[in-house]
Chain A
Amino acid sequence: MNTATHTLDGPGGHTHQPGGLLRWLTTTNHKDIGTMYLSFSLLMFFVGGAMILAVRAELFQPGLQLMRPEFFNQLIGVHALVMIFAALMPAATGFANWMIPLMIGAPDMALPRLNNWGFWLLPPAAILLTLPFVLALFGIGDGAVATGWTLYAPLSVQGGIGVDFAIFAIHILGISSIMGSINIIATLLNMRAPGMTLMRMPLFCWGWLVTAVLLIITLPVLAGGVTMLLTDRHFGTHFFDAAGGGDPILFQHLFWFFGHPEVYILLLPVWGLMPHVLSTFSRKPIYGHTGQVWSFVAIGVLGLVVWGHHFMTAGLPVPALLYFMYSTMSISLPLAVLFFCWIATMWRGAMSFETPMLFAVGFIVLFGIAGLTGLVLADVAADAQYHHSYFVVAHFHYALFAGGIMGVMTGVYYWLPKWTGHMYSEKLGKLHFWLTVISFNLTFMPQFFLGLAGMPRRIPDYALQFAEFNAISTVGSFVLGLSQLLFAYNIWRCIKGGEKASNGVWEGTRGLEWELSSPPPHHSWETQPVIKD
């Protein structure tokens, strides 16, 4: 390891760095890039959120009030793509960039230029995804992709230019993610401080290691799938057209071979982060470090072989149905290990409930609902009722909002003082937590009942018996959306100033990242620490 070369710059060695906008364009510093990822993520979180608030407004009452069904279909699909690829994934990558070098005692990421490129691919991809909305205003094309984020053929073969834009956006996002993953794997495997064996590596790093491997395995399959879609659309191939010997279900296999691991890609970094937070605020070591590492690996492996449960109504043969049902159910075991370890970490600690801890506890409870409803969704016969209904919509929002986004918020509040050197407003943070948790449940709990009552997803208008729950859900969603402004404001205030944060920030923190100053020096660990004990 030639970590010493960077120290040539000396302390605060950014003298030869350009200032202003050019600094951000050309930066190879892991913290700058991490900040860009996180800022981009926050921006896109509001973009995706605004889209879905328009959708919820339309669904406030039966009838078509605000938009045509075509536009409604565009909003729901782009909402999902933006939230998954442009909000949640970049947030996790931002965390990785900021924290991995600090946690393993490295000066920076292993491949800094690749890192810069990985980020700067994101804005063009986000523009590609949303540009068709703007083009449609000028009479070019018929708007953004209107097939839902799943892009199922043949609907996507039939769609307008929005589909092509989405395909290229996915290609670019995929390249960006693969580059980020290669960088993270290279960093974690090569740049750990002496004495930090793989099994001693912090859990956040482990979560990301598994995520990065999953991304590298699955994204090429998605890229292949959407490329086949592109050639079906424009070059006369028939991969997904029965008339030419193809099969529409092939697309679902390819999509979900990526799509299911994607859920764990979004969640593993958060699962990795949770034990750190719980341990800090319980003032107690993490329980079951090794058990959690192996659970991450087990979830990663199982996650690769259960994709079929996303289309159990498509007419899979009985043996396939049974296989996908039982393999899906078995994911509950490693997941239960994680829940067990989280609670055991809290057990007999000395807990205090600052904002990150509140979000962590909120995450565990609400993500528990996602896990448990996921268990019943695995059952093929019951799935026939739940599938394609609002029950599923509620389930995956418990997984991806309460699990993913609230997990990210946990991390932001936990690490923000480390990043900025200032404490955020605890009062605003707690207010943000309570508003988020209450309005989140107000939004999504009714959707479980809507699904059971028989409301299909992705419909712009609905029968009268669904009216009340939809009205509640819409009210909840607007409170939820507006509460997030508090989050942005609190971050802004913290960047601008506030009470100075100490190196350790919180009373119970352990790990290398808390030994550096807050904010950490430009080249993080200029001399490599040595792990003893």
Chain B
Amino acid sequence: MTILNPSRRPRSASFLSRLALGAGLALGAASALADYTWNFPKPVTPIGRDTLSMHNQFMVVITVLFVVVFAIMLYSMIRHRKSVGARPAGFSGPTGMLQWFWVLVPFAILLFIDFVLMGIPAFHAVIEMEDTRTKADMVLKVTGLQWKWKYEYPDSGISFVSTLSTPREQIEGKAAKGENYLLEVDNEVVLPVGRKVRILLTSTDVIHTWWVPQFGVKRDAIPGFLRETWVRIEEPGVYRGQCAELCGKDHGFMPVVVRAVPEPEYAAWVAGKKAEMAAAAAGSDKAWSKDELMTAGKAAYDKNCAACHQPEGQGIPPAFPALAGSKIVTGPLLSPEGRLIPDSHVDRVLNGKAGTAMQAFKATLSDADLAAIITYERNAFGNHKGDMIQPAQIKALR
């Protein structure tokens, strides 16, 4: 089985040239382009390989069925035409044992195809796919959030959030699209090659679906429940996929990127990530200047908040309220005793708002990021509150 891998060349074809291309192809004029994928991308896990071979086998089966059945119909359409002088027969059902026999043969074949030819390999594939617990070497917890993925490694305590890194300009057509347009993230998930990884999935808001086509697995992440699946990646490489369940506005913009590396490289990555997290934790305890908070706040805001509330804080009302001039944002910061005020700005950012897309960001962002974002929102977009909040205060509120 040859698999045509998508050649990923950057391009910025104009609308017109694409129209011409589409029309040309539509007329069958230019079919020799290499950029077509006719089948699954190359599988790199045991399940992926199984699925592909099963799919290929089934496609042959249904193609044969299609050709045989419609060849018979086509033959009839050519032979039994009024215009070639065919005279209609009068039968309206099988008569006699022989005819009944021939009527029943196709159904016997179909029974065999359904429950033996397809049914048996499918049975084994399901059992294998659902066997998440036998000999699992490690666990990866995946949490879907609107519209990013959070990854946690319970064994090593690593956790981070992975978001789309394709610049807005490329999406809006103001810049040439890069090679991995829409399939690139800031923090890739790193997994060791050759180890069975049990993947636990959940979500904090709506249903998302974690899908990497080359792994052959796709599983929904359901809020309030754990779902599981597993992968054993056999080749090092970077594997790209996307959220597959409509999850709101930016459903098309929450890619999954997994980097599979050999064991030693994985160990080094774990050590590096741990050090990084320790440094971030230290950030909670130091005192930040307002300028530092504002600078960090703008960066964190653009990454985490701007998709909905917009870069200038004007929002997309009514679904995504404006922050500029907002009563909540310009309200009091904390109670005089330093406690959280219900439904205040800090409460919203930390705990979200139930029933809306505003999520509880304390689950995904660091103390420093939260303090920076809150400080930034209170002092940007013409909100001149002048106050600020320290990461240490956020830490105390958790």
Contact = CB atoms under 8 A, between A and B. Distances in A.
A69 B251 contact: yes
A452 to B, nearest CB: 5
Interface in A37-95: 60-65, 68-70, 73
Interface in A466-496: 467-469, 471-472, 474-476, 479
Contacts of A387: 218, 244
Interface string A144-175: 00111000101101101000000000000000
Interface residues of B, number: 117
B9 to A, nearest CB: 8
A63 B129 contact: no
Nearest to A448: B38
A190 to B, nearest CB: 27
**A142, A290, A468 interface centre (most CB from chain B within 10 Å):** A468
Contacts of B228: 315
B171 interface: yes
B58 A382 contact: yes
A57 to B, nearest CB: 10
Interface string B90-102: 1111100000000
Contacts of B58: 375-376, 379, 382
A294 interface: no
Interface of B is mostly: mixed
A504 interface: no
Interface stretch (B22-30, B258-266, B297-305): B22-30
Interface residues of A, number: 106
B118 to A, nearest CB: 6
Given A248-B207, A375-B118, A346 B224 contact: no
Contacts of B59: 376
Given A285-B92, A384-B216, A468-B25, A147 B246 contact: yes
A69 B250 contact: yes
B355 A158 contact: yes
Contact of B80 (A249, A350, A380): A350
A381 B62 contact: no
B246 A148 contact: yes
A458 B51 CA distance: 24
B244 A318 contact: no
A394 to B, nearest CB: 14
Contacts of A454: 40-41, 211, 213, 241-242
Contacts of B245: 152, 388
Nearest to A340: B106
Contacts of A63: 170-173, 177
Interface in A310-362: 311, 313-315, 318, 321-322, 325-326, 329-330, 332-333, 336-337, 339-340, 343, 346-352, 361
Contacts of B213: 385, 453-454
Nearest to B30: A468
A254 to B, nearest CB: 15
Contacts of B40: 385, 452-454
A348 B81 CA distance: 9
Given A321-B126, A329-B115, A350-B81, A315 B219 contact: yes
B13 A284 contact: no
Nearest to B320: A142
Sorted from nearest, which 9 A-B pairs have the closest CB atoms? A242-B224, A465-B6, A459-B252, A381-B125, A454-B213, A471-B22, A388-B244, A315-B227, A453-B37
14 contacts: A60-B15, A155-B246, A248-B223, A287-B92, A315-B228, A346-B80, A348-B80, A352-B82, A379-B125, A380-B126, A453-B40, A456-B209, A459-B242, A475-B19
Interface of A: 60-65, 68-70, 73, 141-142, 146-148, 152, 154-155, 157-158, 160, 233, 241-243, 247-249, 282-291, 311, 313-315, 318, 321-322, 325-326, 329-330, 332-333, 336-337, 339-340, 343, 346-352, 361, 364-365, 368-369, 372-373, 375-376, 379-382, 384-385, 387-389, 442, 449, 452-454, 456-465, 467-469, 471-472, 474-476, 479, 508
Interface of B: 6-11, 13, 15, 18-19, 21-23, 25-26, 33, 35-41, 47, 50-51, 54-55, 58-59, 62, 65-66, 69-70, 72-73, 76-77, 80-83, 86-94, 103, 106-107, 110-111, 114-115, 118-119, 122-123, 125-130, 170-173, 177, 179-183, 205-207, 209, 211, 213, 216-220, 222-225, 227-228, 240-253, 316-319, 355-357
